[in-house]
Copies of this chain bind each other. A is one copy, B any other.
């Protein structure tokens, strides 16, 4: 593996006991920022995301996306020798991240108290669906489970039918970013002489935190108002919604300051002062008429691009609802590295999302490699732990260390 890129977290070493998504996102963000990340996996399969689509030449693009830039050390943690290796690794790291179900890491012998005793300087971050403690903590945790409990799922979809869930891992990926944030602040505190922290980060807390208005609105009205989902048109702002264009869907928003601009953009300056539409309240009261009017205008345009250009010329907030193909190939996304090409030894070139944090003094989206299961066993045990080659060979022989080059 190439050395870590010159970046903002150079000099920090992260022990990564995570799998699938939220945890690996947190440690991968740190790898992208130049931390030395040592991912610990378990025989015989390693992180189960190594089996998730798409697989090519034995390698999973799902795994690659979240594990570039990390060492892979594969240890049998059921053996005392395996536990001893992990204990030695804990001594040499600044951060430990894990996202087992709550309680599991403690039963393995590496809960916060044990880890803190092994290395009083290490920052430990546990990531879970519903939190480390409390009556829901022990439930099986998936992104959608936390989304449902957070009230976010209930705010999405047709008001007269079932909620719709997003086909994108809002909860896991975002919670990984929150965990990285907490780790960064804890390292800053430690750097200034403060004590090492234990961090309890959950999808539930992150999702619930997104309610910028709903909970306070319910509370301020003593329950008289209970916000809920409203499909593809906002219930209290008009126009704010999705319209069917000739090529796809288009999002159009006009708050009061944009209303005259929207009327001009659609060639209907006469509507600016029309009493049916003069205020947001009036527009909501005549919502159906206004939505029909905008829909008819959009349908009559030669293309969505032409419609969007007309709206944008008047600075009306609007956007095409991009499909994945359009997103992946959009010049703004490609030009900025919001979408980047990852070059992998087994997958070839694959498009993936770019790094969301951008620092002026460092390269954005540095190239990083993903590794096969156990690829770093020898290097890490020799260079980080100072084990002799014979000892590493013996651990490999005993099956305490494991590798699979076909991953």
**Chain A residues with a Cβ under 8 A of chain B:** 8-9, 11, 21, 33, 52-54, 56, 61-62, 64-66, 112, 130-131, 133-136, 139-142, 144-158, 161-170, 172-174, 177-178, 180-182, 184-189, 191-192, 194-195, 197-202, 204-206, 208-221, 223, 226-232, 234, 240-244, 249, 251, 253, 258, 312, 315-328, 330-333, 335-336, 338-339, 347, 350-362
Contact = CB atoms under 8 A, between A and B. Distances in A.
A360 B164 contact: no
Given A145-B318, A165-B241, A182-B358, 4 more contacts: A152-B168, A165-B242, A174-B174, A214-B324
B185 A167 contact: no
B181 A177 contact: yes
B65 A162 contact: no
A318 B145 CA distance: 6
* 10 nearest A-B pairs in the assembled complex, by CB-CB distance: A181-B181, A184-B184, A151-B327, A148-B319, A198-B360, A219-B351, A54-B220, A162-B232, A155-B167, A140-B317
B357 A185 contact: yes
Contacts of A145: 251, 253, 317-319
A320 B360 contact: no
Contacts of A232: 157, 161-165
Contacts of A353: 208-211, 215
24 contacts: A11-B192, A53-B213, A53-B217, A66-B212, A135-B335, A139-B312, A150-B327, A152-B170, A154-B324, A156-B167, A167-B228, A168-B210, A170-B170, A181-B181, A185-B357, A197-B361, A198-B359, A200-B358, A201-B358, A208-B338, A209-B354, A215-B351, A216-B352, A226-B324
A353 B215 CA distance: 7
Nearest to A167: B155
B221 A164 contact: no
Contact of A212 (B141, B168, B330): B168
B324 A182 contact: no
A347 B220 contact: yes
Contacts of A221: 54
B178 A321 contact: no
A12 to B, nearest CB: 9
A357 B65 CA distance: 25
A121 B40 CA distance: 38
Given A181-B357, A358-B205, A162 B244 contact: yes
Contacts of A243: 162
A244 to B, nearest CB: 7
B149 A322 contact: yes
A214 B65 CA distance: 11
A216 B61 contact: yes
Nearest to A349: B219
A8 B322 CA distance: 40
A174 B140 contact: no
B173 A8 contact: no
A195 B361 contact: yes
B350 A219 contact: yes
B164 A158 contact: yes
Contacts of A157: 156-157, 164, 232
Contacts of A350: 216, 219-220
A176 to B, nearest CB: 10
A332 B205 CA distance: 11
Contacts of A215: 324, 327-328, 339, 351-353
A227 B324 contact: yes
Contacts of A319: 139, 144-146, 148-149
A197 B359 contact: yes
A172 to B, nearest CB: 7
